[in-house]
Amino acid sequence: MSENYVIIFDTTLRDGEQSPGASLEVQEKLMLAMQLARLNVDVIEAGFPISSPAQFDAVKLIAQEVKGPVIAGLARSLALDIDRCWEAVRFAKKPRIHTFIATSQVHVKHKLRKSEDEILEMAVAAVKRAKGYCEDVEFSPEDSSRTGKDFLFRIIEAVIDAGATVINIPDTVGYSNPEEFGNLIREIREKVPNINQAILSVHCHNDLGMAVANSLSAIRNGAQQVECTINGIGERAGNASLEEIVMALKTRKDFYGKETRIRTEEIMKTSRMVSHLTGIVVQPNKAIVGANAFAHESGIHQDAVLKDARTYEIMTPQSIGLATNKIVLGRHSGRHGLKKRLEDLGYKLSAEELDKIYQRFMELADKKKEIFDEDLAVIVEDITREIKEVYHLEYFHVFSGNNTIPTATVGIKVNEKLLHEAACGDGPVDAAYKAIDKIVQLPVKLEDYTLRAVTSGKDALGEVGVTVAKDDKRVYGRGTSTDVLEASIKAYLNALNRLTTMINQKGK
């Protein structure tokens, strides 16, 4: 591995799976490991074989099936752990045993209740045992960043002499900061005499939100491998996020002067797979892979991005596997963003029409967070076709329950005349729509029905969108209300009014 490459050690399947609530089936782990191989990580830590039969099976299966990366398994510095770990990883073309023991005073005294000399002996014995099985042995002094430096340097030197090929320095509880952690890595390089015989690695947790910054600082100070997870998942506040480290190195190569072998175009796909399989959602403003990471809402920003994306994008969406950036139309969007979206949707509008549409757009944007293309279609039609409200809802009653036949009565004004009808249906919406059909007498097909909340809270406004078709004509209708039934009826009538306008205009 050339000096310019940082080794990416992915521990999504081991430390990531230790996230509260995340537990993966063996087959799901295999699927993820395959994707990690496509992403081209250098090392996959596939699990902790002694911790359960399922963990063992997953590590073994991944070792058997996944080609390319080194496959590592975790083991405490105990003979039984190491033997079990080897049983699982030995099927890999490039196996690694990763053994660890805590070295900080608080862990040594209160968790392990041993002396430092006993810990050092256990570490050396574990590395020697692992070395008896496999050439590639990683050792981690757990809680390194809170370990006394003399003992830390002493144990590192001893395990390298015992055969460790990788020394990993964990900031186990995310206690450190970039300056301090970088200095620690530099000091290890300077003060441990045999350090050049091993690869120096770091493993940072995110308790104070500095896992990525600490990892990057470590790289600046001589770390050659970083341990990280997709979406930054992991114990407590998580681990350093793989995608953030990789994209920081790529985007700021001028500063770090380092590369990785990651196929960055696979990042988004991997992130989505991890989120989907673990059930851990990615926060929208998460760097690189959050839903808003490449979304622009401010009018000034939209205008600039449309002229030249480099104004507000330091990396391209394509570089992480997204097809394009996202111009979010909402309250802060300007006329330019709106005009561009309308053009993209194929509308050719006069300046006067655009003025009116912009006005209506702003009114709607005050009520809902994001304006979708279907909303624009409704506004454009309203402005350009002058939709007439032929059918107007006067009232509705719905009778529904879990063991009764849903029935609806509706009163609709048609050209100033009030008409009433009642009908039964599969559900209350279906019953109401059937009652409306009896009044309107326009045979239509309901092709699509969607319901979404446009504001939050218990009294959220619900918005219903329906697509209604008759012969070759297809229209979209929208209705909003705090009552979803009312929203549903309004949406249907809105669509029927549009359809009627369309039919009447064609007939003229």
Residues forming contacts to ligand KIV in the complex (CB under 6 A) are 15, 100, 140, 142, 168, 170, 172, 203, 205
Q: Which is nearer to ligand KIV, 170 or 337 (CB)?
A: 170
Least spacing, CB of residue 102 vs ligand KIV, in Å: 8
Q: If we measure between CA atoms, which residue out of 313, 333, 339 comes closest to residue 324?
A: 313
C-beta of 80 vs 503, nearer to ligand KIV: 80
Per-residue CA distances from 381 to 70, 126, 347, 386 (Å): 59, 74, 10, 7
Query: Rounded CA gap, 273 and 231, in Å?
Result: 10
Contact 271, 39 (CB under 8 A): no
Q: Minimum distance between the CB of residue 15 and Zn ion, rounded to whole angstroms? A: 4
Q: Which stretch binds Zn ion (CB under 5 A): 13-21, 28-36, 110-118, 397-405?
A: 13-21
* Among 452, 448, 453, 419, CA closest to 436: 419
How many Å apart are CA 54 and CA 59, to the nearest integer? 9
DSSP 136: -
Task: Report how far apart the first and last C-alpha atoms of the chain are (Å, whole number).
Answer: 76
Please, which residue, 100 or 181, has the CB nearer to ligand KIV? 100
Q: Which is nearer to Zn ion, 15 or 266 (CB)?
A: 15
Question: CA 226 to CA 219: how far, in whole Å?
Answer: 8
Give how far Cα 408 sits from Cα of 212, 240, 323, 423, Å. 58, 56, 46, 6
Q: Report CA 188 to chain centroid distance, whole Å.
A: 35
Closer CB to ligand KIV, 170 or 462, in the complex? 170
Cβ proximity to ligand KIV: between 84 and 203 the closer is: 203
Task: State which residue, 172 or 264, has the beta carbon closest to ligand KIV.
Answer: 172
Answer with the entry of ligand KIV, Zn ion, none that 301 interacts with (C-beta below 5 to 8 A by kind).
none
Q: What residue has token string 């697509």? A: 467
Q: Which residues contact 263 (CB under 8 A, 6 or more apart)?
A: 38, 39, 40
Least distance in Å: CB of 205 to ligand KIV? 6
The answer to whether the CB of 263 falls within 8 A of the CB of 277 is no
**Amino acid at the residue 496:** L
State which residue, 18 or 407, has the beta carbon closest to Zn ion. Answer: 18
CB of 18 to Zn ion, least distance (A): 8
15 binds Zn ion (CB under 5 A): yes
Residues that contact Zn ion, how many (by CB under 5 A):
1
CA distance 294 to 246: 17
DSSP states of 379-448: HHHHHHHT----EEEEEEEEE--TTS--EEEEEEEETTEEEEEEEE-SSHHHHHHHHHHHHH----EEEE
Q: CB under 5 to 8 A by kind: which of ligand KIV, Zn ion, none does 182 bind?
A: none
171 binding Zn ion? (CB under 5 A): no
Decide which of ligand KIV, Zn ion, none touches 462; Cβ closer than 5 to 8 Å per partner kind: none
- The two tokens of residue 116 are 């430092």
Minimum distance, C-beta of residue 170 to Zn ion, in the bound complex (Å): 6
Q: Which does 60 bind (CB under 5 to 8 A by kind): ligand KIV, Zn ion, none?
A: none
Q: Could you tell which of ligand KIV, Zn ion, none binds residue 100, using a CB distance below 5 to 8 A set by kind?
A: ligand KIV
217 versus 494: smaller Cβ distance to Zn ion: 217
Is there binding between residue 17 and Zn ion (CB under 5 A)?
no
Span from 12-20, 41-49, 182-190, 313-321 in contact with Zn ion (CB under 5 A):
12-20
CB of residue 107 to ligand KIV, shortest distance in Å: 10
**Comparison of 140 and 501: residue with beta carbon closer to ligand KIV:** 140
We find the least distance from the C-beta atom of residue 197 to ligand KIV, in angstroms, to be 20
With contact defined as beta carbons under 8 Å apart, do 337 and 299 qualify? yes
| Residue 140 binds: one of ligand KIV, Zn ion, none (C-beta under 5 to 8 A by kind) | ligand KIV
Residue 408's φ and ψ, nearest 5 degrees, are -135, 145
User: Token pair of 131, please?
Assistant: 């070395």
We find the least distance from the C-beta atom of residue 159 to ligand KIV, in angstroms, to be: 14
> How near is the Cβ of 446 to Zn ion at its closest, in Å?
53
The residue among 195 and 211 lying less far from Zn ion, judged by its C-beta, is: 211
Contact 19, 233 (CB under 8 A): yes
Any idea how long the chain is?
A: 508
Beta strands in 316-386 (DSSP E): 326-327
Residue 100 CB, shortest distance to Zn ion, in Å, is: 9
Q: Closest distance between ligand KIV and the C-beta of residue 140, in Å?
A: 4
Which spans of this chain sit near Zn ion (rule: CB under 5 A)? 15
